[in-house]
Amino acid sequence: MVERASPLGSDFRPGSYGDFANGAEVTILELDRAGIVEATAWPGQEKALCEALAGACNLRLSAGSGNGAANREGVCAFNIGPGRFLVSGPRETLAGQLESAVPDTIGTVTDLSHGRTVLGIEGPKAEWVLAKLFALDFASAAFPVHSGCATAHHEIAVQIQRRGEKRFELYVSRSFARSFANTLRRAAEDVGYTIK
């Protein structure tokens, strides 16, 4: 198996940065997601697609705008558009697995395992940092755990899933990943951050 190179470059290395005199208030990390897949339902097949994905990945996923789910094996999925889901997990075989689970009468599956970089941000100030970059309401009432959305920071399309009260995962196109990581890091400097 050929190891996958990170697009983030050598500047993205462990350490504490920014104003961390009072302790870094967020952690930023690149998440290792060997499988990232987009699955899209034909009109009217949204429920069927959810069931197929839920069955294949052992997820409690339901159709509907922004809905999401995650399981203990580290597979997670969330809705990013009409009938469209982003599924990711620790195994490279995810695309193949979903291709067999989703018949072409229900929808299509596209492998994005190399095409997306997943950044995690976690900590008491995660909402504060993200609010600088996205015009989204990150309060948990408006953005509950497991839910997700598709948004953008200027030119950069970003898909976001909330994975915990203070934890978010951001999916960005690989070619923008370094630029976006730098923007995210800069946004976290006032609260201090740690790269893991």
Show contacts with other proteins in window 83-142 (CB under 8 A): 83-84, 104, 107-108, 110-116, 131-137, 139, 142
Angstrom distances, CA of residue 7 to CA of 43, 78, 135, 169:
35, 24, 26, 17
Residues in the chain: 196
Q: Is 25 in the site for other proteins (CB under 8 A)?
A: no
Cα(134)–Cα(159) distance, integer angstroms:
11
Binding to other proteins, residues 156-185 (CB under 8 A): 156-157, 173-176, 178-180, 183
Locate tokens 């095409």: which residue?
115
CB of 58 to other proteins, least distance (A): 20
Q: Which of 31, 54, 145, 150 binds other proteins (CB under 8 A)?
A: 150
Q: Is 22 in the site for other proteins (CB under 8 A)?
A: no
Number of residues in contact with other proteins under rule CB under 8 A? 73
SS3 state at 95 = helix
Q: Which of 1, 14, 22, 72 binds other proteins (CB under 8 A)?
A: 1
Nearer to other proteins, 67 or 194 (CB): 67
CB of 88 to other proteins, least distance (A): 14
List alpha helices for the chain, DSSP H: 46-57, 94-101, 126-133, 174-187
CB of 73 to other proteins, least distance (A): 22
Angstrom distances, CA of residue 180 to CA of 18, 42, 95, 150, 190:
17, 32, 26, 15, 17
Cα(63)–Cα(55) distance, integer angstroms:
14
Pairing verdict, β 26-31 and 193-195: parallel
Nearer to other proteins, 9 or 58 (CB): 9
Q: Is 30 in the site for other proteins (CB under 8 A)?
A: no
Q: Is 44 in the site for other proteins (CB under 8 A)?
A: yes
Half-sphere exposure of 86 (CA within 13 A, CB side): 27
Q: Is 67 in the site for other proteins (CB under 8 A)?
A: yes
Q: Is 149 in the site for other proteins (CB under 8 A)?
A: yes
Q: Is 42 in the site for other proteins (CB under 8 A)?
A: yes
From the CA atom positions of the chain, what is the Rg in Å?
A: 17
CB of 57 to other proteins, least distance (A): 18
